[in-house]
Amino acid sequence: MAQNDSERRRSSSRARSNNSHASSSASRSTRLARSNASGSSRSTRQNGSQSRSAGRLTSSSSTNSKTLGSARRQSKASDYSLNRSKKASPSRLGRLEPKEIALLVGALLLLILLIVGIASCARSCTSPAPQEEPAVEESSVVQQLNPQDSRVAFGTSTELTTALSAALDKAEAIQYIAEHANEYPEGLVELALREESAIDFVRNYASASKTGDAFEDPITQGTVPPLFCFDKRWGAVDYNGKPLALAGSGPTCLSMAYMGLTGRSDATPAVLAQLAVRSNQAKGDSGTDPDFFIGECGNMNIGCIEEEVAAGILMDALYQRNVVLAQVKANTLTDEAHWVLVCGYNENGAVIVYDPTSTEVSSHEWDAATVSTASNKFLTLTPAAEGYGEGYSYYIGQDDPVSESDAAVSGSTSSSSGSSDSSSSTNSSSETQSSSTDENSSADETSSEESSSDSGETDSESSQNQEENEG
């Protein structure tokens, strides 16, 4: 407002000066008009009147010009004030320094982030509890699990689930064996890959018994139970520096024969393996010396006779309900030389072979000629005389078997006396069998003589009848 008042004063002073200049110019023109008017008075008067009217016009025009100038100045002043107010804000932003601008932008970004965080927190707080929905899903999944094996899809048949479960177990065991392959004795990993039934034993080899466990399955005399070297009850027992699972075919075959012929189970593969090692007979290409069987069978109520390797000999032994230990050569039934037990024949005439190293060989039907061709030694095992060896028992950890009757009387029995008693019993049994054989042979000779005499009498009678007919 002060500025506007000062502007008005200045404009009014300028108007006064302009009026004074205009009046002076008007008086000059009047004087000129008067001096020049040498004509008649009328013209002079007319000129005077014209000058007076011109003066009036000049004064009025000066007044109008003053008014217009004042209005223009006022409009310019208002426009100037408006333009200054419009340009005031950008000029202030322009005066901000770059640091201040950066701080302003940072504060704006922080404000935006704060607003976004508050909004997201509000959404999460107002949303329903997340654990309720998974709980419903979890309960529905539990209802869809296979009750027999959760690893198998729900709705799979019982038979197929059983088969898949077994396959999954074997796959997991093979994976474990592969991850710990460098921790096993040499040959065990190959056994797991070669023999599917040995996978579980190899998988749990570290925890298997290293001294052997008892055989508690039911046994029937006259029926040979199929046993395998890699059974967890004795497969981890040391047999001359190797696990019995890899080299114990001999003790395992003899144990099978013993159980089948006597109906007893105290002579397990682990027990017989210890006896073979102590007698230094755990050797040879097949892992066990044949002399071990011949010597040990006398202590087991079993007769042992070495036979000629021939298909006919093999079948004759089986016809008499005996069993035959056969030492098979390498690259025949299997890749390595070992012992098998031939324990019978079926209605087709095929022989039954129990191979303690292979479930495949044990489940196969074999021709007697094939087995004899693959073998280089036959040992026929027979039950001894009835009642022989009763009360005889094997104990793990002793050098030799101990007679239960002797142990009950004296509490201890020397191994040598037990062996001599067994030998004497064996000899007496052999003598009894030989004497009975002699009696049978003499009886056969007597019967043959009687038959020959009868035939002679018949011939003489027929010749007499013939002579009478001719007469």
Bin 203: left if φ > 0, else alpha if -120 < ψ < 50, else beta: alpha
- Check residue 358 and give its pLDDT: 96
- Check residue 103 and give its pLDDT: 83
Indicate whether 189 and 239 sit together in one domain. no
- Model-level pTM? 0.55
Total of domains in the chain? 2
Residue 297 lies in a domain: yes
Residue 419 lies in a domain: yes
* Cα radius of gyration rounded to whole Å, the chain: 66
Indicate whether 245 and 309 sit together in one domain. yes
- pLDDT tens digits, residue range 140-162? 444 689 889 989 999 899 999 99
Indicate whether 323 and 406 sit together in one domain. yes
- pLDDT tens digits, residue range 284-317? 889 999 999 999 998 888 999 999 999 999 999 9
Indicate whether 192 and 287 sit together in one domain. no
Indicate whether 345 and 197 sit together in one domain. no
Given 3-state DSSP classes, what are the helix, strand and coil percentages for the chain, each rounded to the nearest 5? 60, 10, 30
- Check residue 285 and give its pLDDT: 84
Q: Are the C-beta atoms of residues 195 and 358 closer than 8 Å to each other?
A: yes
Indicate whether 315 and 353 sit together in one domain. yes
- Reduce the secondary structure of 64-126 to three states and give it as a string: HHHHHHHHHHHHHHHHHHHHHHHHHHHHHHHCCCHHHHHHHHHHHHHHHHHHHHHHHHHHHHH
- Check residue 251 and give its pLDDT: 97
Indicate whether 300 and 273 sit together in one domain. yes
Residue 246 lies in a domain: yes
Residue 42 lies in a domain: no
Q: For the chain, which ranges sit under pLDDT 50? A: 37-41, 43-44, 47, 54, 57, 82, 85-89, 136, 138-142, 386-471
Q: At what angle do helices 269-278 and 249-262 cross, to 10 degrees?
A: 120
- Check residue 93 and give its pLDDT: 54
Structural domain including 262 reads 208-434
Indicate whether 334 and 423 sit together in one domain. yes
d(CA 201, CA 231): 7
- Check residue 440 and give its pLDDT: 41
- Check residue 46 and give its pLDDT: 53
Residue 268 has phi, psi (to 5 degrees) of -80, 165
Residue 11 lies in a domain: no
Residue 464 lies in a domain: no
Residue 435 has phi, psi (to 5 degrees) of -65, -40
CATH number at residue 224: 3.90.70.10
- pLDDT tens digits, residue range 422-470? 333 334 333 333 333 344 444 444 444 444 444 444 444 444 444 444 4
d(CA 325, CA 354): 10
Indicate whether 347 and 220 sit together in one domain. yes
Indicate whether 198 and 266 sit together in one domain. no
Indicate whether 184 and 219 sit together in one domain. no
Q: Are the C-beta atoms of residues 423 and 388 closer than 8 Å to each other?
A: no
Residue 281 lies in a domain: yes
User: Coil, strand or helix: which one is 238?
Assistant: strand
- Check residue 239 and give its pLDDT: 96
Indicate whether 216 and 174 sit together in one domain. no
Domain C-terminal end among 180, 207, 234: 207
Residue 117 lies in a domain: no
| Distance set, CA 387 to CA 302, 361, 391, 409 (Å) | 12, 35, 10, 20
- Check residue 333 and give its pLDDT: 94
Average pLDDT along the chain: 74
